[in-house]
Structure 1
Amino acid sequence: MTPRRWAELTWQDIRDLPKEPGVVVLPIGAIEQHGPHLPVWTDALLAERYAQRAFELLPQDVSALLLPTLSYGKSNEHTGYAGTIALSAATLMSVVRDIAAAVAKSGFTRLLFINTHGGNKAVLEVMLRDLRAEFGLLCFLAQGQHDTSRLPDIERRFGIHANTAETALLLHLTPPLVKTPLPAAHYPAFASQHFNLTSAPQVGWLTRDWSADGHFGDPSAASADDGAEWFEQLAASIAVQIAEASTFRVAND
């Protein structure tokens, strides 16, 4: 079986691995408040578990190598709550750049990020192009997808943190870490007709602007069964993206 965990290999192993085709995968999460019911580990845990499961689902002929999870992210929207550890955008960009530099120096040509924290997304989107320009790496940002059709419209729009889905996922993955009783639904009183919370046109905000307890959505509607179903959907969609990234080429490469 082809080795797939960077941290378990020697430097000679990594040197001698075939580099083409292939992709190196970096899960990125965060350590930040997740309401009164979920651990601060939530995003980092999800990044790690999605990556692990996605690699289990990969066909053996897909060449992919999994880096250890980067647990810290740009979480300054959650400052003001104990336990949040927030990197600045500049720090996260520097850390990602240094990791990418090492990946490139080891001979690899593709790097894929599995991101589970919304606050990292804009930073990583900038880095995709910067890393391509500086190191020649083809970089990808993977986002897992799951069926949200059963959720109410208000949950799909405003359930963005420690919500039904995240609570369900942790009820499936780490039930002892979910505190009960689950809190009631909380949605921000966001009345704007022209701006959104998470997509352009957008307004800058902090969690404490809208939620004293730190959650947006309805944790009380979560179930472990839904979490198991969504987890498999998310991991499977990430596995497909890893497989495609491993052989992706540009026209003039």
Structure 2
Amino acid sequence: MPDLPTLLWKEPALVLISNLAWPDLQPGSEDHVIVPVGALEPHGPHLPLGSDTMISDHFAHRLAHEIGGHVAPTLGYGVATPSQRLGGTFPGVISISGATFTAVVTEVLASLARHGYRRLVLVNSAIDNISFLCEAARDLTERSPGVRVMIVNWWDVVGEDFRDALARESGTARRDDHHAGMVESSLVMHISPHAVRTDRLPVDGAVERPRRISYHLYPQPADTATSSGIVYTAAGAGAELGERVADQVARQLADAVRREFAAPLPS
């Protein structure tokens, strides 16, 4: 069976901007444009480097399918995540500086606004992109009256009650379920099962226990690093759980976008 993006590309309600010829790019005032934003960085030994980008792509396509929006090309390079969140320094961090990232996002959004889009949604899956996305959105909306920008991370809309229920069912506390943990691993298992190396997940709960700190130290303390890059736990991850999470996020995301763009746009 074709994957979700392949199916959605065939839906008349979904328009990928990169597939259009220039005479067909005529956005109406009610059209949303959705920009998936990801990153390229390690997610333990079991998930692909592009996990964040895969997740953003997935939810951007589902959102466009739900609300009839347009999908812009993905921004797949993000701002580097601190090594303590990755469990150490591993190959695969391919990032750009915050200044460059902000400039790129600002110019992409400005171009979309210049072509007539007034409802812009950034679907992001990399936590260290957030402040720079906000800076770009502030810059654009200050210079472009009549434009509204929504920045949403998939975890913003999954719902507290839903996450609490997952924690109770799985026995995995939420404090142990962040980067490359149970929920994120499950999402990628659902979205792109062939890209996940399940044989590299720890067996029988045998995981390292690095010291976790909520602040940042440079260079990274040795006791906060791991040999595998699994800082949290991916125990209990599975495609079925990922499908539940994906369906929940997709519903909540569409509801949030409808709600935030129901009010009149600023003039």
Q: How does the TM-score come out when normalised to structure 2?
A: 0.79
Conserved 8 A contact 1:30-1:72: yes
- 2:225 is aligned with 1:211: yes
Q: Say whether the 8 Å CA contact 1:23–1:246 is kept in structure 2.
A: no
Residue aligning to 2:47? 38
Q: 1:50-103 deviations in whole A, cap 9, x for unaligned?
A: 111222233xxx5x2111211110124248310111111101101101101111
Q: What are the within-5 Å matches in structure 2 for residues 22-101 of structure 1?
A: 22-58=31-67, 62=68, 64-78=69-83, 80-101=89-110
CA gap of 1:249–1:207, structure 2 versus 1, over 3 A, is farther
Alpha-carbon spacing, 1:185–1:130, altered in 2? closer, same or farther (3 Å): farther
CA distance in 2, matches of 1:3, 1:226: 27
The farther-off stretch of 214-223 and 94-103 is 214-223
What's the % identity of the aligned pairs?
A: 25
* Deviating more after overlay: 156-165 vs 30-39: 156-165
Q: Is the 8 A contact 1:155 1:217 kept in 2?
A: no
Give the structure 2 partner of residue 141 of structure 1: 151
Task: Quote the offset at 1:161 in angstroms.
Answer: 0.7
Equivalent residue number for residue 140 of structure 2: 131
1:17 aligns with 2:1: no
Q: SS where residue 148 of structure 1 aligns?
A: helix
Matched with 2:189 is: 171
Distance 1:107 1:138, change over 3 A: same
Match of 2:201 in 1: 182
Q: Counterparts of 1:208 and 1:190 in 2: how far apart (Å)?
A: 11
Match of 1:200 in 2: none
1:11-61 Cα offsets, whole Å, 9 max, x none, are 2211x332x122211010111011111110100011101111222233xxx
Counterpart of 1:108 (choices 97, 109, 117) is 117
CA distance in 2 between partners of 1:186 and 1:43 (Å): 23
Relative to structure 1, is the Cα distance of residues 205 and 10 closer, same or farther in structure 2, using a 3 angstrom cutoff? farther
List runs of 5+ in structure 2 lacking aligned partners. Answer: 1-11
Q: 1:214-233 alignment to 2 at 5 Å?
A: 214-233=229-248
The one-letter amino acid of 2:24's match is D
Q: Which runs of 5+ in 1 are unaligned?
A: 192-196, 198-202
Q: Does structure 1 residue 151 correspond to structure 2 residue 167?
A: yes
* Post-superposition offset of 1:155: 3.6
CA contact (8 A) 2:187 2:245 kept: yes
Q: Is the 8 A contact 2:54 2:188 kept in 1?
A: no
Displacement of 1:211: 3.0
Aligned in 2, Cα 1:228/1:96: closer, same or farther, shift over 3 Å? same
Aligned residues: 236
Native 8 Å contact 1:155 1:218 kept in 2? no
Distance 1:24 1:205, change over 3 A: farther
Tell me how large the CA RMSD over aligned residues is.
2.5
